Amino acid sequence: MTEEAQPAGGPPNTKVDERVREIGGFRRWLIRPELGGIVGTIAVFLFFIIFAGDSGMFNAQGIMNWSQVSAQFMIIAVGACMLMVAGEFDLSVGSMIGFAGMSIAILGVTLALPIWIAILLTFALCIAIGAINGLIVVKTGLPSFIVTLAFLFILRGFTIFFPQIIERRTIIGGIDTAAEGDWLAPLFGGEIFGFVFQWLSDIGLIDVFERGNRAGEPVIDGLPMLIVWALGLVVVGHFVLTRTRFGNWIFAAGGDAQAARYVGVPVERVKISMFMFTAFCACVFATCQVMEFGSAGADRGLLKEFEAIIAVVIGGALLTGGYGSVVGAALGALIFGVVQQGLFFAGVESSLFRVFLGVILLFAVILNTYIRRIITGER
Amino acid sequence: MSSYDHNPIVEMADITKNFGPVIALNGVSFDVRPGECHCLLGDNGAGKSTFIKTMSGVHKPSSGKILFEGREMNFTSPRDAMEAGIATVYQDLAMIPLMSVTRNFWMGREPIRKLGPLKMIDFDKANTVTMEEMRKMGINLRSPDQAVGTLSGGERQTVAIARAVHFGAKVLILDEPTSALGVRQTANVLSTIDKVRKKGIGIVFITHNVRHALAVGDRFTVLNRGKTLGTAQRGQITPEELQDMMAGGQEMVALEGSLGGTV
């Protein structure tokens, strides 16, 4: 043994190990989690510029159309991404969306509470359910897949049950009239920066209505709060995950919970708060949606949990946790929105969107597994 | 040995630990002094892991005392033990492979920089310190954002040891740091242990490899079936005697005869 040991206390071995190859710029770039998202985004834009470039997809209204759809995906993808990095899943996101919308409708329309109270109560309720999800997962040690699958059914069941027994129907309308003059509702259903769009139409960059009672007004009145929420959540999520101490704990909790615990990271607290954040994102989605539609339906949000997870995986996150990027997930959501609406603009049967989802999910997972091998040096 | 002039940093007196009907530890006494490497040997199932987990605050002892710098301690979590100055490097749980060396190094104690109301990790400081500490241990990193997964097993142990030393550990518990390593990597870890010892840190080195223990150990304590079989100083005991104590004597002698050498 001793003949191999370095002389104790001697100069440290400072020469570079000749067997470690320098990682080239290309390879360094390849291990960024956002790679798949960036390549995919460029690919879908090129594709639709070629095949649907003259269909109106890229004029002001077209852009607003797929931006809104992408923003919806983005809001839930940010939550799903951070939760997946923390090593857990939430399959109850879709049901949570339906549940939250219905909760606002019942509180605000049926019980006629002011909408701001309905919204705040719903947020509190959803975040509490997220906390229960998280508590059950960390206290029992069960896979979050199973626990949140249970909540997928529980929440959806209640979402159908309550309006049925209270109102004898599964769609509750009238939220738009109830929300009139409310101070909180515009934060979800309103639009901002109207003057920017006015200015853009003045300089001729976007079209104006040519006839009707709004003739002369720009075709877009402002930036919908839905998009503001999406961008805001992406920026905050990205900052928290990559720049803060808590973000480091999220990576650690998902990378190896036991190792994290041993250095004092409060893994349980981190995971529970990520479940709560995911519920918060679902609730933002739901609130924006009911404000836009003016109604809540018991079937809202179906399959959204899977779409969120697929966006996150396209964004480079590993299903096993500990690795991922909010910006990547946002790009995954953008790809979704562009493809879903692009197929419509290109006149392709929209059911093919599902086929696309499946295929791209498969490619993304294969690519991620390969990238993971590069990072960890596994063979 | 200068280390015997000092009082022990940690003294574990007559520790027992039961898990239900199972008696994992049945009266273990052990101490470690500043600047010494105290090897804890024992075969699989001897109670080594339970014992160090008691020392590092993961388990509470069923009875017995833990004295830290002469004061009786009552650790309720690994965090308590860590804050007192007892750091543990676990065999395979030391590092998170997907995270960068810097992120691993500072995990749980990230340096904070304030930008207005925002508190973020001070990556400049974190990276500089990490590179510097690793250089002191004889490892030149390509870059501080290199994932730990790209390091060898020995290098990972070294990052974990460097981390513990940087955060002011007075006692460093190493749980089988050499068990999964090749010859050269083992040598590197053993020489790291030697460097750390020279800083006056007390080391508890858990192993079942007698030769690794003898290469760096000042004292040797053997555990068998939850009990200490005794403590010997360096030079008072031969590898063969240690080996026999670990295995419980008899059968080992017969086995060795048939294998024709030291196991």
Rounded CA gap, B10 and B32, in Å?
6
CB A174 within 8 A of CB A294: yes
For residue B254 the two structure tokens come to 């017969």
Which letter does DSSP use for residue B3 in this model? G
CB A311 within 8 A of CB A158: no
Q: Cα-atom radius of gyration of chain B, to the nearest Å?
A: 19
A76-117: per-residue pLDDT in tens? Answer: 999 999 999 999 999 999 999 999 999 999 999 999 899 999
B50-70: per-residue pLDDT in tens? Answer: 888 888 888 888 888 888 888
Which residue type is seen at A17?
A: D
Report the b/e string of A199-224 with b at 16+ CB within 10 A.
ebbeeeebeeeeeeeeeeebbbebbb
Q: Name residue B219's beta-bridge partners.
A: B38, B233
Give the strand pairing for A191-192 and A223-224: antiparallel
Q: Which residue of B has its CA nearest to A85?
A: B98
The distance of B29 to chain A (nearest Cα, Å) reads 24
pLDDT at residue A14 above 60? no
Secondary structure of residue B85 in the 3-state scheme: coil
Is B119–A244 a contact, with Cβ atoms under 8 angstroms apart? yes
For residue B150 the two structure tokens come to 């790209």
CB A133 within 8 A of CB A146: no
Which of A168-177, A270-279, B168-177, B191-200 is modeled with the greatest confidence? A270-279
The CA dihedral of A13, A14, A17, A23, to the nearest 10 degrees, is 150
Residues of A with CB under 8 A from a CB of B: 1-2, 4-6, 8-9, 12-17, 20, 22-23, 239, 243-245, 247-249, 251-252, 255-256, 258-265, 318, 322-323, 372, 375-378
Q: Which residue of B has its CA nearest to A256?
A: B96
Q: Where are the domains of chain A?
A: 67-376
pLDDT attached to residue A11: 41
Residues of A in contact with B138 (CB under 8 A): 6, 12-14
pLDDT attached to residue A159: 95
| CATH 3.40.50.300 is right for the domain spanning B1-45+65-87+207-263 | yes
CA A245 to chain centre: 22
Q: C-alpha angle with apex B82: B80 to B88, nearest 5 degrees?
A: 130
Which letter does DSSP use for residue B87 in this model? E
Q: Name which of B93, B98, B188 is nearest A322 (Cβ-Cβ).
A: B98
Q: Where are the domains of chain B?
A: 1-45+65-87+207-263, 96-166
Q: Which residue of B has its CA nearest to A263?
A: B108
Rounded CA gap, A376 and A143, in Å?
24
The distance of B98 to chain A (nearest Cα, Å) reads 6
Q: Name which of A247, A261, A323 is nearest B98 (Cβ-Cβ).
A: A323
Is A13–B183 a contact, with Cβ atoms under 8 angstroms apart? no
CB A134 within 8 A of CB A167: no
pLDDT attached to residue B48: 86
pLDDT attached to residue B251: 54
Contacts 24+ apart (CB under 8 A), A109-113: A109/A172, A109/A173, A109/A174, A109/A175, A109/A178, A110/A166, A110/A167, A110/A172, A112/A178
Which letter does DSSP use for residue B5 in this model? G
Is B93–A256 a contact, with Cβ atoms under 8 angstroms apart? yes
Q: Which residue of B has its CA nearest to A259?
A: B93
- The count of other CB atoms within 10 Å of the CB of residue A20 is 14
The CA dihedral of A183, A189, A194, A197, to the nearest 10 degrees, is 170
Among B74, B79, B36, CA closest to B220: B36
Report the b/e string of B23-34 with b at 16+ CB within 10 A.
bbbbebebbbbb
Residues of B in contact with A22 (CB under 8 A): 142
Q: Is A296 exposed, middle or buried (0-12, 13-18, 19+ CB in 10 A)?
A: buried
Is B121–A244 a contact, with Cβ atoms under 8 angstroms apart? yes
Residues of B with CB under 8 A from a CB of A: 78-79, 82, 88, 90, 93-99, 103, 106-110, 112, 118-121, 135-138, 140, 142, 147, 149-150, 183-184, 186-188, 190-191, 194-195, 198, 211-212, 215
Q: Which residue of B has its CA nearest to A236?
A: B118
pLDDT attached to residue B1: 44
Phi/psi of residue B64, nearest 5 degrees: 110, 170
The distance of B187 to chain A (nearest Cα, Å) reads 5
pLDDT attached to residue A5: 40
The 3-state DSSP composition of chain A as helix, strand, coil percent (nearest 5) reads 65, 5, 30
Q: Which residue of A has its CA nearest to B93?
A: A259
Residues 6+ apart with CB under 8 A from A132: none
Is B147–A259 a contact, with Cβ atoms under 8 angstroms apart? no
Q: Which residue of A has its CA nearest to B196?
A: A9
Is A248–B78 a contact, with Cβ atoms under 8 angstroms apart? no
Residues of B in contact with A258 (CB under 8 A): 93
Is A248–B106 a contact, with Cβ atoms under 8 angstroms apart? yes
Bigger pLDDT: A252 vs A264: A252
Residue A50 Cα distances to A58, B79, B172, angstroms: 11, 59, 63
Q: Name which of A2, A5, A322 is nearest B96 (Cβ-Cβ).
A: A322
Is A6–B79 a contact, with Cβ atoms under 8 angstroms apart? no
pLDDT at residue A366 above 70? yes
Q: Name which of A13, A259, A378 is nearest B96 (Cβ-Cβ).
A: A259
User: What is the average pLDDT across A41-60?
Assistant: 86
Crossing angle of the two packed helices A326-345 and A304-314, in degrees rounded to 10: 110
pLDDT attached to residue B23: 85
CB A201 within 8 A of CB A207: yes
Is A243–B142 a contact, with Cβ atoms under 8 angstroms apart? no
For residue B224 the two structure tokens come to 């068998």
Q: What is the H or E stretch that residue B182 is in?
A: none
Which letter does DSSP use for residue B181 in this model? -
Q: Answer whether 0.90 is exceeded by the pTM.
A: no
A194-242: per-residue pLDDT in tens? Answer: 778 778 777 777 777 777 777 777 777 788 999 999 999 999 999 999 9
For residue B229 the two structure tokens come to 């079989």
Rounded CA gap, B67 and B51, in Å?
15
Report the b/e string of B46-73 with b at 16+ CB within 10 A.
bbbbbbbbbbbbbbebeebebbbeeeee
Which of A175-189, A209-223, A285-299, B134-148 is modeled with the greatest confidence? A285-299
Q: Which of B58, B191, B205 should we substitute to test contact with A (largest number of A Cβ atoms within 10 Å)?
A: B191
Rounded CA gap, A90 and A275, in Å?
7
Rounded CA gap, B33 and B54, in Å?
18
Residues of A in contact with B140 (CB under 8 A): 14-17
pLDDT at residue A243 above 70? yes
Is B90–A13 a contact, with Cβ atoms under 8 angstroms apart? no
Q: What is the H or E stretch that residue A321 is in?
A: none
Could you please report the per-residue DSSP string of A212-269? STTTTSBS--SEEHHHHHHHHHHHHHHHHHHHSHHHHHHHHHHH-HHHHHHTT--HHH
Residues of B in contact with A249 (CB under 8 A): 107-108
Residues of A in contact with B107 (CB under 8 A): 248-249, 252, 260, 263, 265
CA B155 to chain centre: 15
pLDDT in tens, chain B (263 residues): 444 567 888 888 888 888 888 888 888 888 999 999 999 988 877 888 888 888 888 888 888 888 888 888 888 887 788 888 888 888 766 688 889 999 999 998 899 998 888 889 999 999 999 999 888 888 888 888 888 888 888 888 888 888 888 888 899 999 888 887 878 888 888 888 888 888 889 999 998 888 888 888 999 998 888 888 888 888 888 888 888 777 765 555 555 556 655 55
Q: Where are the beta strands (DSSP E) in B62-116?
A: 63-68, 71-72, 86-89, 112-115
Tokens 């998280």 sit on residue: A134
Q: Which residue of B has its CA nearest to A4?
A: B187
The distance of B106 to chain A (nearest Cα, Å) reads 9
CB A313 within 8 A of CB A325: no
Give the strand pairing for B171-175 and B86-89: parallel
Residues of A in contact with B78 (CB under 8 A): 261-262, 264
Rounded CA gap, B121 and B129, in Å?
13
